[in-house]
Structure 1
Amino acid sequence: MNKQIALHPDLDDDLLDVMEPDNGGSVSDELSRNLRALWSTFYRNRLLIAAIVGVFMLIGLGVTMLMTPKYRATTSIQIDQQSTNVLGNTDQNSVDPAAAWQDADRFLQTQVDVLQSRAMAITVMQDLNLNANDDFIHQMGGKPADRPAGPLSLADTKREQILNVLSDGLRVDLPRNSRVADISFTSPDPRLAARVANAFAADFMIFNMKRKFGSSTYARNFLESQLSDTRSKLEQSERALLDYARSAQLLDVSGGIASSTDGSTTGTPRSLTTSNLVQINDAYAQAQAARVQAQQHWEQAAATPPMQLQEVLTNPAVMQLAQLKAQAQAAYQQDLQRHKPDYPQMQQAAAHIAELDRQLNSLATSIRGSIKEQYATALKQEQALSGQVNGLKSSTQNEQSRSVEYNILKRAVDTNRTMYDSLLQRYAEVSAQAGVAANNISQVDVADTPDKPVSPKPLINLALAMILGMMAAAGFVLLRDKFDDSVRTPEDVNSKLGLTFLNSTPMLDQEMTPDEALSDPRSALSEAYSALRTSIELSHKGGAPRTLAVTSTRQSEGKSTSAFAIARNFAKIGRSVVLIDGDLRKPSLHRLANVPNGRGFSNLLARMGSIDEAIQPTETPNLSLISAGPLPPNPAELLSGARLPELINELAERFDVVVIDAPPVLGLADTVLIGSTTEATLFVVEANGSHHGHAKTAVRRLTGNGITIIGALLTKYDARKIGYGYGYGYNYTYSYSYGQPDAPSSSRKWPWSKK
C-alpha cells in the first residue's frame, strides 16, 4: 500500500490536507498558494490582458498623435554675486563689498525669484508687444478671452491671460553648486519659444543694470535741460512743416520724411498723389503685360481649329465626350457587321454619335470663346489704368511746384532732429557712466530655434499607456475572477464548493480515448483513478463505502467514465464490485464495458426480473455490471418506489462495493433519490467547465436532502493551461514515468498536454 501511494499523484498537498488535520499551514505556504492562484488568474486571462493593454497603447498612441508638439528653447545666464567698478574714482574701492558667502544660495534663489516674478513677465510682454493682439495666445495654442473676468475689463482680462501663459511656459533651472541658470520657455511655435526665452534673459540683464544707475549728477541735469529746449524746437519745426503741407494740400504718406532706397532722406515728400501714381503705374505695367499675353493667346486660338486647341484637348469634359464617342463608334462598327445602316438600332447609334459630335464642337467653341473674353477683359483693364496714370501725372507735376517751401521747412526739422539725437545719445552715455559697476548678469548661451519637440514623447506615453493598461487589465481580471465561480484548480473545490478535494484526472491528448487510456495501467489517467480509489478509502470511516453514487452537475463532465474506472480499480485489488448504470435517461456504461443493454436496472426497479438475470460479467475480474436496461417513460417515478433501497441493500450484501453511475443533478430528481440510498456520493466536476453557480446549486441540493458527499473529483484538469505549470504536473509525470527506462526529459511526452 505504501508503495502504491508513493507512485500516485494523490500525494500532493491537497491529499495530504485530507489525510492530516488542518493546522492552518505556515505563512510561506499560504503566500505560495496565493501567488500561485494569482499567477493562474493572470495566465488564464493572458489574451484578455493583452487585448486591454493593446487598447490602452492604441489610445496612448492616438492621444500622442493628437497632442500638439511643443518646443522648448533654452538660454543661459551667469549670475555673479559681485561686480567690478570700471569707472569709479581712485578713492573708491575697485571691487564692491561682496556679500557673505553664507548667503550665496539665498542670493541666487532671489535672482531666480525675480526672473519668475510678475514684474519680469510684464516687462517681457511690453518688450515683445504681446498684448497688441491675440496672436500670442493663438500661437501658444490657447483661446483668447472673449468676456471680462469679474471686475476686470476685457483688455485687463486678456492682459492677465497673457501673463499667466508666460508664467506657465517659463522654467528657470539653477543647478546646485553652479551660478549658471537656464531660462527655458515652452511653446508650440519654436520661433516664439526662442524669442521669449531670449527676451527674458535680455530684460533681466537690463532690469539689473537699471538698479545701478544714478540720477543726480550735474551733467545729466544739464543735458536734460538742453534736451527739453531742443525737443521744443523740434516740435515747433515739425508743426510748421505740417501746417504748410496742409495749406499747400501736400499729403505726405511717409510722415513728412521721404526716404530713398538706400535709407537716406530726400527733399521731396512722398505724397499721396505720388504714391498713387507709383502704385497705379505698376498696376498699369502689369495690366499691359497681361493684355499682351492674352492677345497672343487669342490670336493663336483664333488661327487654330477648335478641336486642336490645347485647352480643348485637356478639358476633362471634352476628354469624357471623346471617350464616349470612341466607345459609341466602336459599338457601331461592331453592330454594323450584323445589321445594315438603315436598321433602327443602327440609326439610333448613328444619331447618338452625331449628338456627341455636336456636343464636342459646342464645348470646343465655348472654350475658344472664353479665351476671347479673357483678352477683352485684359484690354479693358489696360485702357482704364492708362487713363488713371495720365490723370495722376498732371496732379503730381502741380504738387512738385509747391514742394520748394516744403523742403526748406523740412531741412529745419532735420537739423533739429539731428541735434536732439546727438543730445539724446550723449545723455545716454552720461547715464551709462553714472553706473560705476559693471553688470553682474551676463548671457552665456543664446536660445536658438529648437528643431525637435520636447513633447509629446511617444515612447514615454506608450510606456505610461502600457503601465495603465496593465493596471486596468489586472484590476479587471481580478474583479472578474472575484465574481467567477468556475472550478479550475484543486483549491477551488474547497473554496468555492466547500467539498474535500480527492483527486484530479488529467486532460488527454486528442487522439487518445478514455478507453485506451484506462487500458494502459501506466497512463496518467489510470494512475489518477488508482489514486482516487486510495483517496476514497482514506476519506471514509472504516475504509471504502459499501455503496457509492457518482454524479456531476451536468452531462459530459466525466462521471460515467469515473464510475467505471473506480469500480474497475476496486475490482483489481480483489474486491467484488457491481457497477450499476443508474442514468435511466442517457445510459453509457454498457458501451464502456462492451456488454448488451437488454435487461438491467430498470427491469429490477420494475420487479420484472431477478438480480442474477440483470448482472453481466465484464472483462475485468471481480467486476460485474448492471446496465440501465430499457429506458422507462418516467425514471423519477420508478426510482421513488420502495424497490430502490431494497435493491441497493440486497446488492450490498452480495458484493463488497456497489458503485452507481447517477444522472446529473441539475433539473432531475433521480440523483437525489439514488444518493439517499447510498452511504456516500462522489461529486465529479469538470475543470473550468461549470459556471454561473451551477455546481454550487447542485452541491446545495444534494446536501440539503441529507446526502453525504465524500468529496469531489476534478476531471479534465490541465495545470499548465491555467498557468500552474510544473508544480502541479510533477506528480502525474512522476507516476507515469516511474519504473520506465531512463530517457532524456526532452523525449518524454507530458500525458496531460493537449495538441
Structure 2
Amino acid sequence: MLLSTAPATIPAATALPERGGNLAPPLLVQYWDVALRWKWLIAAIVIAATIAGLIITLLMTPQYTAATRIEISREQKKVTNVEGLESAEASRDLEFYQTQYSLLAARSLAERVARVLKLGSSDTFFKAHGVNVEGMAGNGRVLTADQRTQRERTAVSLLLKNVSISPIRGSALVDIKYTSASPADSAAIANTWAEQFIESSMDRRYASTAEARKFLEVRLADLRARVESSERDVVNYAMEKGIVALGKTKSADGQTQIERTLVSNNLEALNEALAKATADRIAAESRANARATRADATSEALGNLAIGQLRQRRAEVAGEYSRMMVQFEPSYPAARAVAEQLRTLDASIAAEERRVRSSVSGDYREALTREDTLRNQVETLKARMNQQQRDNIQYNIYQREADTNRQLYDGLLQRYKEIGVAGVGTNNIAVVDTAKIPSSPSAPNLLLNLTLAVLLGFGLAGVATFALEQIDEGLREPSQVSRLLQVPLLGSVPDVETGECLDVLRDPKSALSEAYLSIRSNLAFSTDHGVPRTLLVTSTRPAEGKSTTSWAIATVLARTDSKVLIVDGDMRSPSLHQYAGVQNVHGLSNLLAGDNDWQRLVQETNTRNLSLITAGPTPPSASELLSSNKMAALLDQLLEDYDHVIVDAPPILGLADAPLLSRVVEGCVFVIETNGVAIRGIKASLGRLRQVNAHLFGAVLTKLKHRQAGYGYGYGYGYGYGDTAGKVD
C-alpha cells in the first residue's frame, strides 16, 4: 500500500541539527573566507596600486613648506562697539577666532601679498607652480592690460591653493604655511602673508574708526540741536507758568527733579507763621475767658509785678493794723492812718487789675486778626501751589526730554573722543616665529604615499571582491540555507575527491559517514513514524552530489538492519549502477513500460540489506512513463518487501521528471552544491516542487570546504548528464 504523501505531523524544522548545522560563522571568519577565495585578485590589485604609487611618487616634483607662526590676542575693548556697527554676538571668542581664520584665507589678503611681492610679473613664481606662462607673455615682453590682469588673478589663485592656515589647538597661535617648489619663495610668501595680515588688520581698524567718527559727527550735530531746543522749551515754560525753582536734584537714572519752588517755599513759611498765630490766638482767648472770674484770680494779674508788690505791701500794712487793733481803738489816729493806707492800696490794686483786664482783651483781638490774615494768605498760596503742581507735569515732560537728549549727547561725545585716540592702541596680532627657508622637501612623502597606495589597493580590491561576490550567488555556508531559502537544513557534508567517496563511505567512522548518519537522524524526526519509507533525492542541476547523497542515505539506513531498496529514477543519465558495480541492462524503464516482474530486476549490492533497481534503457520519453500511475503502483509493491525505498531522481532544472516523481513519495531531500548553482536557480527549482505540492523534508549542502566545515559539513561529487560511465554523481 502506498503511504500518504501529505506532510508529516512533525515538520522537518524540528529535526535535531547536526554539528553547527544552522550556525553562521563569525563575521570576521566570513570575511576571511571571502578574502581567501579571491586572494590572488586582492594581491594583484594591491601590488598594482603599490607600484603605481611608487612610480607617481618618484615622478612628483619636490615641494617645500615654510611656516610663519603668529599670535592673535582677543581684544578686550573694541572701539567699534557703537550702535549699528557691530553685533553683540562678535564678543564670543569662538566666533572671533573663526573670523580671524577666515580673514587669513581671504582673497583680499592674497591680492595684497601678490601685489607686495609682484608675483604677477614673476615668471619664476609661475614656473615653480608648474604654470605655463607662454600664453601670458613674459621674458621681458611688454604685458597688455588683459595679460597683466590674467597673471595677477592666476597668482592669487595659486597663493590661495597652496597656503594653509593651521590653528594650534588650545592656544591663540596660528601657523601660516606655504608650499611650493621653491624653498625661498615659500619662506618669503609665508612671512609676507603674516605681515600683510597685520597691516590689513590695522587698515580695517582705521577704516572702522573713520566711519565711526563720521557717523558720530552727524549724530552729535543732531543731538546738539535737540538738546538746545529741549532746554529752551524748559526755560520758556517755566517763565510762562511762573515756576521758580529754588533747588534741583539728579535721580539715579540721571533725570533732573525740582526739589522746591518759590511758591512751595513761601507756603511752607506761611504755614509755620499761621501755626504760631493760631497758638497765640488760643493763648489770648484763654486769657480773655478768664475775665469771668475775679481779676485777682487771673493768671495775668497774678503774673503782674506791680500788682504783686501792691498786694505784698497791703499784706504788711494789714498786719500792722491788726497789731494796733490789739492795743488801740480804730479811732486812734495812728490806727486811722494805717486804715487809710489800706484803702489806698486796695484802690491801687483794683485800678491795676482793671488795666490788666483791658490789656488781655486787646491782645486777643490782635491775635485773632493776625490769624485770619495769615490763613487767607495760606489759602491763596495753596491754590497757586495746586496750579503749579499741575503745571509741573508738563514741566517735567520737558525736563525729562532735555535730560535724555543731554545724556545721549554726552555719551556720544565721550565715544567720539575715545574713537579719536583709538588708532594709537596696541595691535592684537604679533609674529611669534618667522619662516625659514626649508632645507628638505615636505612632499612627496614616499612612506605616506606607499601606505596610501596600499590602502587604496585594498579598497579597490574590496570593491572588486564585493562586486564578484554579488555576481557569484551560490550558497557558501550552511546558515544561508534556512536564511535565504526558508528550507530546513538536514545536514552538510565535506568535500571529497572524485572517486574516493565510495571508499570513504565504507568506513562508518569517517567524517563523510558521520555527516550522512546525522542526515539520517534528522530524517528520523521528519515524520511521526521515523525515517520516511519512500524518499526522493533531487537537485537543481547535475554534478551537485545528488546520486552520492541517495547512495549514502541508503547505505546508512541499511546499516541499521533495515531492508533498503534504492531506485535509479534518472533514466536520462543513470549512474547508481556504477556505485553498485553492476550492469544497467534492465531496470525502471522496463517496469514502467509494462514489465510487472520487479523481483527479477532487483540487484543486490556489496552492502548488506541494500538492493538496487537500475534505471534501465533510456526511454524515448521519460516524462510520459513517469506521468502514468505505474510508478505509484510499483512503490506500493516495493514497500511490501522493503522498509525504505529511495528514488534517485533527475535534476529539476529544465526537466519534469523530478516534480512527477515527487507526487508519489512521502517527501523530498533537496541537494545543493556549495558555491554551485546561483540562489535564484535554487529558488526556481524549489518553486517547481512547491507547485506540485511536494513535501520537502529539507536540504543537504554538499562539497563544503575544510574551513566552512568548521560550521557544518561539505561535500562534492561530479555528475555528467548524458554520460553513463566514467563519472560518479
Q: TM-score range by the shorter chain?
A: 0.5 to 0.7
In the TM superposition, what is the alpha-carbon distance from 1:690 to its structure 2 partner? 1.2
C-alpha change, 1:145 and 1:676, in structure 2 (3 Å) is farther
- Is structure 2 residue 130 aligned with structure 1 residue 141? yes
C-alpha change, 1:683 and 1:188, in structure 2 (3 Å) is same
- Give the counterpart of 1:524 among 499, 504, 511: 511
C-alpha change, 1:58 and 1:708, in structure 2 (3 Å) is farther
Report the residue type matching 1:548 in the other structure. Answer: L
Equivalent residue number for residue 616 of structure 1: 603
- Is structure 2 residue 476 aligned with structure 1 residue 488? yes
* Distance in 1 of aligned mates of 2:203 and 2:555: 106
- Give the counterpart of 1:72 among 65, 83, 89: 65
Percentage identity across paired residues of the two chains = 38
* Distance in 2 of aligned mates of 1:128 and 1:620: 99
Q: CA contact under 8 A between 1:484 and 1:692: conserved in structure 2?
A: no
In the TM superposition, what is the alpha-carbon distance from 1:124 to its structure 2 partner? 4.0
Larger Rg: 2
Alignment map for 1:332-731 (pairs within 5 Å): 447-478=435-466, 480-482=468-470, 484-509=472-497, 513-608=500-595, 610-691=597-678, 693-720=680-707, 724=708, 726-728=710-712
Report the residue type matching 1:155 in the other structure. Answer: R
* Distance in 2 of aligned mates of 1:681 and 1:208: 86
* Distance in 2 of aligned mates of 1:670 and 1:481: 33
Q: CA contact under 8 A between 1:145 and 1:158: conserved in structure 2?
A: no
In the TM superposition, what is the alpha-carbon distance from 1:659 to its structure 2 partner? 0.8
Q: CA contact under 8 A between 2:23 and 2:711: conserved in structure 1?
A: no
Q: CA contact under 8 A between 2:491 and 2:518: conserved in structure 1?
A: yes
Alignment map for 1:254-273 (pairs within 5 Å): none
Residue-by-residue CA offset, 1:344-400 (whole Å, 9 max, x unaligned): xxxxxxxxxxxxxxxxxxxxxxxxxxxxxxxxxxxxxxxxxxxxxxxxxxxxxxxxx
Equivalent residue number for residue 318 of structure 1: none
In the TM superposition, what is the alpha-carbon distance from 1:565 to its structure 2 partner? 1.5
State the secondary structure of the residue aligned to 2:694: coil
The farther-off stretch of 520-529 and 32-41 is: 32-41
* Distance in 1 of aligned mates of 2:530 and 2:539: 23
C-alpha change, 1:141 and 1:209, in structure 2 (3 Å) is same
* Distance in 2 of aligned mates of 1:523 and 1:536: 20
- Is structure 2 residue 32 aligned with structure 1 residue 44? no
In the TM superposition, what is the alpha-carbon distance from 1:187 to its structure 2 partner? 0.9
Q: CA contact under 8 A between 1:616 and 1:626: conserved in structure 2?
A: yes
State the secondary structure of the residue aligned to 2:482: helix
C-alpha change, 1:192 and 1:674, in structure 2 (3 Å) is same
In the TM superposition, what is the alpha-carbon distance from 1:602 to its structure 2 partner? 2.4
Q: CA contact under 8 A between 1:74 and 1:447: conserved in structure 2?
A: yes
Report the residue type matching 2:15 in the other structure. Answer: M
CA RMSD of aligned residues (A): 4.5
Question: 5+ residue gaps in structure 2?
Answer: 1-10, 76-90, 137-144, 205-423, 716-729
C-alpha change, 1:131 and 1:641, in structure 2 (3 Å) is closer
Q: CA contact under 8 A between 1:79 and 1:179: conserved in structure 2?
A: yes
* Distance in 2 of aligned mates of 1:502 and 1:161: 73
State the secondary structure of the residue aligned to 1:668: coil
Report the residue type matching 2:162 in the other structure. Answer: G
* Distance in 1 of aligned mates of 2:584 and 2:103: 101
* Distance in 1 of aligned mates of 2:99 and 2:672: 75
Report the residue type matching 2:120 in the other structure. Answer: N
In the TM superposition, what is the alpha-carbon distance from 1:613 to its structure 2 partner? 1.0
* Distance in 2 of aligned mates of 1:617 and 1:195: 99
Q: CA contact under 8 A between 1:530 and 1:569: conserved in structure 2?
A: yes
* Distance in 2 of aligned mates of 1:598 and 1:441: 104
Q: CA contact under 8 A between 2:12 and 2:523: conserved in structure 1?
A: no
Equivalent residue number for residue 158 of structure 2: 165
- Give the counterpart of 1:197 among 190, 194, 213: 190
Q: CA contact under 8 A between 1:496 and 1:696: conserved in structure 2?
A: no
C-alpha change, 1:108 and 1:655, in structure 2 (3 Å) is closer
* Distance in 2 of aligned mates of 1:642 and 1:177: 89
Residue-by-residue CA offset, 1:638-670 (whole Å, 9 max, x unaligned): 333332221111112221111111122223232
Q: CA contact under 8 A between 2:15 and 2:523: conserved in structure 1?
A: no
Q: CA contact under 8 A between 2:163 and 2:177: conserved in structure 1?
A: yes
Report the residue type matching 2:64 in the other structure. Answer: Y
State the secondary structure of the residue aligned to 2:685: helix
* Distance in 1 of aligned mates of 2:94 and 2:510: 80
Q: CA contact under 8 A between 1:485 and 1:496: conserved in structure 2?
A: no
C-alpha change, 1:615 and 1:146, in structure 2 (3 Å) is same
Equivalent residue number for residue 265 of structure 2: none
- Is structure 2 residue 154 aligned with structure 1 residue 156? no
Residue-by-residue CA offset, 1:263-287 (whole Å, 9 max, x unaligned): xxxxxxxxxxxxxxxxxxxxxxxxx
Equivalent residue number for residue 15 of structure 2: 19
Report the residue type matching 1:554 in the other structure. Answer: R
C-alpha change, 1:20 and 1:115, in structure 2 (3 Å) is closer
Alignment map for 1:300-315 (pairs within 5 Å): none
The farther-off stretch of 116-125 and 698-707 is: 116-125
* Distance in 1 of aligned mates of 2:630 and 2:198: 110
* Distance in 1 of aligned mates of 2:450 and 2:65: 22
Q: CA contact under 8 A between 2:12 and 2:525: conserved in structure 1?
A: no
State the secondary structure of the residue aligned to 2:130: coil
* Distance in 2 of aligned mates of 1:106 and 1:632: 90
Residue-by-residue CA offset, 1:42-67 (whole Å, 9 max, x unaligned): 54344444444445545544554554
Q: CA contact under 8 A between 2:47 and 2:457: conserved in structure 1?
A: yes
Residue-by-residue CA offset, 1:201-227 (whole Å, 9 max, x unaligned): 67779999999xxxxxxxxxxxxxxxx
Q: CA contact under 8 A between 1:145 and 1:157: conserved in structure 2?
A: no
* Distance in 1 of aligned mates of 2:151 and 2:62: 24
Report the residue type matching 2:443 in the other structure. Answer: S
Residue-by-residue CA offset, 1:497-545 (whole Å, 9 max, x unaligned): 33221011111257x7111101111111111111111111112232122
Equivalent residue number for residue 382 of structure 2: none
In the TM superposition, what is the alpha-carbon distance from 1:70 to its structure 2 partner? 2.0
State the secondary structure of the residue aligned to 2:491: strand
State the secondary structure of the residue aligned to 1:693: helix
C-alpha change, 1:548 and 1:205, in structure 2 (3 Å) is closer
Residue-by-residue CA offset, 1:109-152 (whole Å, 9 max, x unaligned): 999888767676555434433232544233222356969xxxx9
* Distance in 1 of aligned mates of 2:73 and 2:540: 85
Report the residue type matching 2:662 in the other structure. Answer: G
Q: CA contact under 8 A between 2:536 and 2:649: conserved in structure 1?
A: yes
State the secondary structure of the residue aligned to 2:525: helix
Using the size of structure 1 for normalisation, the TM-score is 0.52
